[in-house]
Structure 1
Amino acid sequence: MNNFIKKTVILLIAFSMNGCSDFLDPNSLSTYDTDYLFSNLDDARKATNSIYASFGQDAFRSRLSSNMQGNTDIEANGNLTSTSARYELWGLRAGENNSDTKVVWEIAYKAIRDSNIVIDGIHESKGYSSNDIVLVAGLNQLLGEAYTLRAYWYSMLIFTFGDVPFIKVAPKAGVDFNLPKEDRNVILSSVIQDMIDIEPNMKWADQLPYGIEQVNREFTLGMIARLSLQRGGYSLKPDLTMARESDYLDYYAIARDYSNKLITLKDRALPVDFGQIFRNECEFITPKNSDVLFEVPFAIGEGDVAWNIGIRVNGGPYGTGSNYMNIPATYYYSFDFKDKRRDVTCGLYERDVDFVQQIVSVGAISQGKWSREWLKVAPGKGTSKGTGINWPLLRYSDVLLMYAESVNEISGPTAAAKEALSRVRKRAFDVADWPTKVVQYVTNVSASKGAFFNAIVDERAWEFGGELTRKSELIRWNLYDVKIKETVEGLHKLADDAYYGFGELPDYIWAKNNIDGTLTILNRDYKQVATPADPAYIRYKWLIDIKKTSDPTTYNSFIETNFSAYTFPVKYISPIPAVGIVNSLGVLKNDGYGFTN
């Protein structure tokens, strides 16, 4: 993370985070002279940085960004009977007093409040209406950051709580902030338009001092497309039905046009090495004009990447890191065996206390894109949280796939849509395999609009596994229940095939430890019938471990507990936290969705 934003965010935490339970209280507004503050770029920059401070709170780094985005068909966790807050969320049992949803509600509205302070402050300042071209251009960039960050937080509030209060002005005396819920589609339409209006006046990442650690024009263009697909997609209604608005194609058109605008104005080649994208984050490298368009900038001592998500590290000079969201074996084996993304995305090993790689169980495949072992400087024994590793919010490959999806929804699999999909797949395979894995594959899935859509659903899974975007995608596609059912059924089949000796996938895996502490796995993708000639190989239970060998009619608990609470359609909406209900003075209540006050 760059030092300027790091230091400014730390200084502004008091400005941004004061008074957790009174986020709508006008008295919490800073007493600074706002006209002065927003008429010079240095102070306006500092005020805008206060919005970023919300990313540094547990509500985002340990909750909203990762833990609250499961369970899905590609990222899952079990033990849903636990009483801790995150397990209540995964088990769809979160109530008004769930501590995780409480902090997300509070921090989201603080970020929105700080965004509104910047937006109103700049619009009302003398500097913004001045003839100073440099000042106005700088203030427009800051406006773009504030509008985009506000849109992001509203998007996540809607995915979490459904309809929510829509606050668009900064705290001012005499303004009533106890607002009722607003229709989520009204909110999304409004914030999308805000970004559309401001993005031409924003700067590209390579024009900004902090590059992809700062909200930039390409990120805003991508967010217009992403939120337009959310607006054009399905959502759960209070009567527990899934529905979308009749004007949904208008928003697919916006997604098409604005993803295409980025492709046209600021195209870039996808980096060849898929794994290096995420190693860059572990090594604090932030390339511009590459795949990552924006990543949340964490300071050293902040951020939980490679602590609660990533390769497990159980001790040693790099400290300890766990992984709360495991990879189902069905997802691992959904990849083409030649797809280079699979072994980047799915971690089949962990580091033990001696920093030696050890095979994990089939129910504990981890998010392999990040690991604290790749930090350039070992943080030391006893360290855990606060790795400082940034978290990606949007990549260019996402823009390409959003373009392909939106074009297909409107016009079917056109040549342009097929080319966008092909660009993403080309990186996944060696050039020698392109004729079959890219050209022929894309030709085959382009036989119909439906087949091409299904290919996009699959490609997004293979491209973004571990980045915790899947839940929101399944919601807007109205596929959450379908994919959960497919996952459970698929896991049962993998277990049955292994137990009864069917199929060609490995019921056991043979692996050996090397002198350098690494692990060699002999047979990831096939049954190894004979004992290997090398005596260093040890046999481990693999797919056969999904079924309880003591009772062939039952399956390992991680299957049943991962998805046991998932009635259909999946009731992913959480109740508004009690603090929001109380502070609204009777305006808000938890009605619908089967909630009871």
Structure 2
Amino acid sequence: MRKPILIFSVLILLFTSCKKGFLDVSSDSKYEADYVFGNKEEINRVLTAVYASLMSNDTYGNAYFNTFALNSDVEFSTFSSELPNVNGEEFRAFDGAQHGPSVQRFWNKQYEGIERANIFIEGIQNSPAFNKNDKDLTQMLGEAKVLRAMFYHDLVVMFGDIPFNTQPSMNLKSAFVIPIRDRNEILSFLIEDLRGVASGMKYAHQTSEGESGTEFGIERVSKAFCYGMIARMALTRGGYALYPEGTIGAMKRMADYKDYYRIAMQYADSVISSGMHNLGKSYRNVFIDQTNNIVTNNDDPMFEIPFLRNGSSNLGFVTGGAVGSTEGVTNHVWGGVNGGMRLNAFYAYSFDRKDIRKDYTVGYWNYDAAGQPQVLTDYTLYNNKWSKLWADAGRALGNQSAGNTGINLPYMRYADVLLMFAEAVNEVEDGLNGSNGAKALDAFKQVRRRAFIVDDHDEKVESYTNTVAASKESFFNAIVQERKWEFGGENMRWKDLVRWNLYAKVVYDSFKEYLIVASMGGGDFMEGSEDYQTLPFNKFFRRIPNPGDKNIYPNTALPIIEFYNPWEATLHPGTGWETATQYVWYNEDTSMPRAQILYSFRGYIKGGPGGNWESLNRNNLPPVRYILPFPNQAIQLSNGAYKNQYGY
């Protein structure tokens, strides 16, 4: 039996032979056409190649949660030019282009992973070693199918209708231009595909590696995560999406959407009923543990993409407050931080004042090269999840480190499943008075309980939840808000808003919010200004030594900043704060709002002399063009089979 030609080096999906017009999917896990997998150990090694496609900064190591974190009321990046950059990379402002290098790289790596999965799936199913009663083999088959579903689902969410194929490219012979398939057909196929393998899979604590018995846990695909992916894909299939009608497109959902909400309800319930996951850790410790490479198999994270320290993943480098350095070297062991994956300036003020998620998620300061904290005076806030500074000193990457932190990405958390279940029940049963209403309410309460200290549970959990559960509409609105607070900085917000058909209104309102407050700073009190009179434009702070208490600040070495009443406007803090420094939180003192206000949503709505914001009617808004363009290379090499729509 010939050995497989396994090339585990970094190759991309290649589009070749423009002369022939073929879409040639070249795999870095190639096999001779008649090769047959021989035994479990070999099969497991080949499965590793499928996982390797997850671990690229072109996808889940950076681009997935950073480059394509489109602007909203949660994740937010500023843009100061009225016109798009020629590099075509400004996707976050809805102004990217098909020649943008990032979109090409993302596309390539996703299809590379799909090709590897297709090769593996065919290989294991045709192997004489395969036995449907062998739990190890059915587990590995399930893992590959779930990973393939991940790759395809995220392509569908970001690109809409896409090329779809479930065979290795070597089986396609001359038909290398993979046909574009309707996204609903793709999602329906993937859902049924995973339903077919779920029963043969293992839970995270049951997975182990060979004779060593090393537990893979949530760094490999489990039965619970398979259930969760079915639920996530079902909600995508049942939700709204942008379809290519007219110039930009139209938002709509399919007539059978409730069928898919029922599937989401069923499989989210399967995760909950299994009892394999819970919200036992505090909210902050979920992410602090990830920065310390601590993996827990029965808590909130259900699947973490496993990255390598000093090898991959920019979590902790683009997230967290910026950390300056001198010639690439810091005077402490944590190294430099870019801190470019930011949050909307008003996000912090949407939280309940007692919600403990806010103080961990939102960051207000950075560190200069001398290791001193400096207040951020910007139109954004830092996304403090996974900050490199949260790692214990013994786990820090060193004073010359930057990216490639190796921090795992929690691709799915149990909190997501709980809220998906609550949402699905509310939609399917028209509120919470049906047979699953009490369970849905409890799922929602579980997320709320972790967000507040025990002393506040009567008011903030029990009373609050019972109030919002009064109607289908009020409970849906509560879920919209709860997901906003729970998943801040995880690049889930715009995707949720799309499937709820709320993205246009939220983008419009976010632009107006920035514009109104900026105009107030310049002395122009527009309609709506009254809602922002109490914002603390002038804040007082002081630098203090690190208290050494992780419950106050997860890093126990660097000095920190303490604010006086960050919620309300204050003339002066008074006794004990005589040495406090005052700063202007929202740096705007001109009659014309600055460029970052006018152009950060410019692909949809913008201000300035050529702006369109005054012509938009909030009650009749056009859709947001969130869909990414097919990359140039794919279009050129498809021999005319592929083309961009949505106004590209």
TM-score by length of 1: 0.91
| 2:471 corresponds to | 448
Higher mean C-alpha displacement, 212-221 vs 20-29: 20-29
| 1:8 corresponds to | none
| 1:439 corresponds to | 462
- Once residues 467 and 519 of structure 2 are traced to their aligned partners in structure 1, the CA distance between those partners, rounded to angstroms, is 30
| 1:298 corresponds to | 307
| 1:378 corresponds to | 396
- Once residues 452 and 111 of structure 2 are traced to their aligned partners in structure 1, the CA distance between those partners, rounded to angstroms, is 43
Does the 8 Å CA contact 1:37/1:43 hold for their aligned counterparts?
no
Is structure 2 residue 162 aligned with structure 1 residue 160? no
Match of 2:584 among 541, 564, 567: 541
Secondary structure at the counterpart of residue 540 of structure 1: strand
**Over residues 377-403 of structure 1, what are the superposed CA-to-partner deviations in whole Å (9 max), with x where a residue is unaligned?**
332333211111111110000000000
Q: How does 1:314-463 map to 2 (within 5 A)?
A: 314-315=324-325, 316=330, 317=332, 318-376=334-392, 377-411=395-429, 412-413=431-432, 414-463=437-486
| 1:479 corresponds to | 502
Secondary structure at the counterpart of residue 293 of structure 1: strand
- Unaligned runs of 5+ residues in structure 2 are 1-5, 17-21, 208-214, 547-558, 606-621
- Once residues 87 and 365 of structure 1 are traced to their aligned partners in structure 2, the CA distance between those partners, rounded to angstroms, is 22
Is structure 2 residue 643 aligned with structure 1 residue 589? yes
- Once residues 374 and 236 of structure 1 are traced to their aligned partners in structure 2, the CA distance between those partners, rounded to angstroms, is 39
Distance 1:542 1:457, change over 3 A: same
- Unaligned runs of 5+ residues in structure 1 are 1-10
Alpha-carbon deviation of 1:87?
A: 4.2
Q: How does 1:567-586 map to 2 (within 5 A)?
A: 567=605, 568-586=622-640
| 2:229 corresponds to | 223
| 2:126 corresponds to | 124
| 1:520 corresponds to | 562
TM-score by length of 2: 0.84
Alpha-carbon deviation of 1:484?
A: 0.9
Give the aligned residue type for 2:485: W
Distance 1:85 1:289, change over 3 A: farther
Distance 1:228 1:26, change over 3 A: closer
Distance 1:29 1:426, change over 3 A: closer
**Over residues 529-584 of structure 1, what are the superposed CA-to-partner deviations in whole Å (9 max), with x where a residue is unaligned?**
225333331111114x3xx3132xx3343332221222531011122112111222
- Once residues 351 and 535 of structure 2 are traced to their aligned partners in structure 1, the CA distance between those partners, rounded to angstroms, is 13
- Once residues 188 and 346 of structure 2 are traced to their aligned partners in structure 1, the CA distance between those partners, rounded to angstroms, is 37
| 1:313 corresponds to | 323
Distance 1:91 1:120, change over 3 A: same
Give the aligned residue type for 1:461: K
Secondary structure at the counterpart of residue 569 of structure 2: coil
- Once residues 90 and 25 of structure 2 are traced to their aligned partners in structure 1, the CA distance between those partners, rounded to angstroms, is 33
Secondary structure at the counterpart of residue 172 of structure 1: helix
Alpha-carbon deviation of 1:432?
A: 1.4
- Once residues 86 and 341 of structure 2 are traced to their aligned partners in structure 1, the CA distance between those partners, rounded to angstroms, is 15
Does the 8 Å CA contact 2:224/2:276 hold for their aligned counterparts?
no
Alpha-carbon deviation of 1:34?
A: 7.9
Distance 1:490 1:443, change over 3 A: farther
| 1:4 corresponds to | none
Give the aligned residue type for 1:141: Q
Higher mean C-alpha displacement, 29-38 vs 289-298: 29-38
Does the 8 Å CA contact 1:504/1:526 hold for their aligned counterparts?
yes
Is structure 2 residue 296 aligned with structure 1 residue 273? no
Does the 8 Å CA contact 1:310/1:370 hold for their aligned counterparts?
yes
Identical aligned pairs, as a percentage?
A: 34
Match of 1:213 among 208, 219, 222: 219
Does the 8 Å CA contact 1:259/1:402 hold for their aligned counterparts?
yes
Higher mean C-alpha displacement, 384-393 vs 81-90: 81-90
| 2:541 corresponds to | 511
- Once residues 306 and 439 of structure 2 are traced to their aligned partners in structure 1, the CA distance between those partners, rounded to angstroms, is 34
Give the aligned residue type for 1:280: D
Does the 8 Å CA contact 1:67/1:324 hold for their aligned counterparts?
no
Give the aligned residue type for 2:601: F
Distance 1:86 1:348, change over 3 A: farther
CA RMSD across the alignment: 2.3
Secondary structure at the counterpart of residue 181 of structure 2: coil
| 1:50 corresponds to | 49
**Over residues 377-435 of structure 1, what are the superposed CA-to-partner deviations in whole Å (9 max), with x where a residue is unaligned?**
33233321111111111000000000000000011122222211111101111111111
Secondary structure at the counterpart of residue 59 of structure 1: coil
- Once residues 31 and 52 of structure 1 are traced to their aligned partners in structure 2, the CA distance between those partners, rounded to angstroms, is 15
Secondary structure at the counterpart of residue 136 of structure 2: helix
Give the aligned residue type for 1:303: S
Is structure 2 residue 15 aligned with structure 1 residue 21? yes
- Once residues 20 and 380 of structure 1 are traced to their aligned partners in structure 2, the CA distance between those partners, rounded to angstroms, is 36
Distance 1:272 1:27, change over 3 A: closer
Is structure 2 residue 600 aligned with structure 1 residue 562? yes
Give the aligned residue type for 1:233: G
Give the aligned residue type for 1:329: A
Match of 2:571 among 526, 529, 532: 529
Higher mean C-alpha displacement, 481-490 vs 255-264: 481-490
**Over residues 450-493 of structure 1, what are the superposed CA-to-partner deviations in whole Å (9 max), with x where a residue is unaligned?**
11111101000000000111121111111110111222233345
Alpha-carbon deviation of 1:79?
A: 1.5
Aligned length: 574
**Over residues 42-64 of structure 1, what are the superposed CA-to-partner deviations in whole Å (9 max), with x where a residue is unaligned?**
11111111112222223112212
Does the 8 Å CA contact 1:507/1:527 hold for their aligned counterparts?
yes
Match of 1:236 among 228, 232, 242: 242
Is structure 2 residue 122 aligned with structure 1 residue 68? no
- Once residues 374 and 84 of structure 1 are traced to their aligned partners in structure 2, the CA distance between those partners, rounded to angstroms, is 37
| 1:78 corresponds to | 78
Q: Which has the higher helix share?
A: 1
| 2:262 corresponds to | 253
| 1:89 corresponds to | 91
- Once residues 444 and 541 of structure 1 are traced to their aligned partners in structure 2, the CA distance between those partners, rounded to angstroms, is 37
Alpha-carbon deviation of 1:36?
A: 6.8
Does the 8 Å CA contact 1:70/1:325 hold for their aligned counterparts?
no
- Once residues 86 and 391 of structure 2 are traced to their aligned partners in structure 1, the CA distance between those partners, rounded to angstroms, is 31
Secondary structure at the counterpart of residue 628 of structure 2: coil
Distance 1:183 1:375, change over 3 A: same
- Once residues 382 and 29 of structure 2 are traced to their aligned partners in structure 1, the CA distance between those partners, rounded to angstroms, is 44
Higher mean C-alpha displacement, 53-62 vs 16-25: 16-25
Give the aligned residue type for 1:513: R
Higher mean C-alpha displacement, 401-410 vs 385-394: 385-394
Give the aligned residue type for 2:301: V
Alpha-carbon deviation of 1:65?
A: 3.0
- Once residues 30 and 277 of structure 2 are traced to their aligned partners in structure 1, the CA distance between those partners, rounded to angstroms, is 44
Alpha-carbon deviation of 1:497?
A: 6.5
- Once residues 322 and 575 of structure 1 are traced to their aligned partners in structure 2, the CA distance between those partners, rounded to angstroms, is 27
Distance 1:561 1:281, change over 3 A: same
Does the 8 Å CA contact 1:343/1:368 hold for their aligned counterparts?
no
- Once residues 439 and 49 of structure 1 are traced to their aligned partners in structure 2, the CA distance between those partners, rounded to angstroms, is 46
Does the 8 Å CA contact 2:187/2:237 hold for their aligned counterparts?
yes
Give the aligned residue type for 1:566: Y
Alpha-carbon deviation of 1:266?
A: 2.5
| 2:212 corresponds to | none
- Once residues 473 and 201 of structure 1 are traced to their aligned partners in structure 2, the CA distance between those partners, rounded to angstroms, is 31
Does the 8 Å CA contact 1:236/1:243 hold for their aligned counterparts?
yes
Give the aligned residue type for 1:594: G
- Once residues 464 and 261 of structure 1 are traced to their aligned partners in structure 2, the CA distance between those partners, rounded to angstroms, is 22
Secondary structure at the counterpart of residue 263 of structure 2: helix
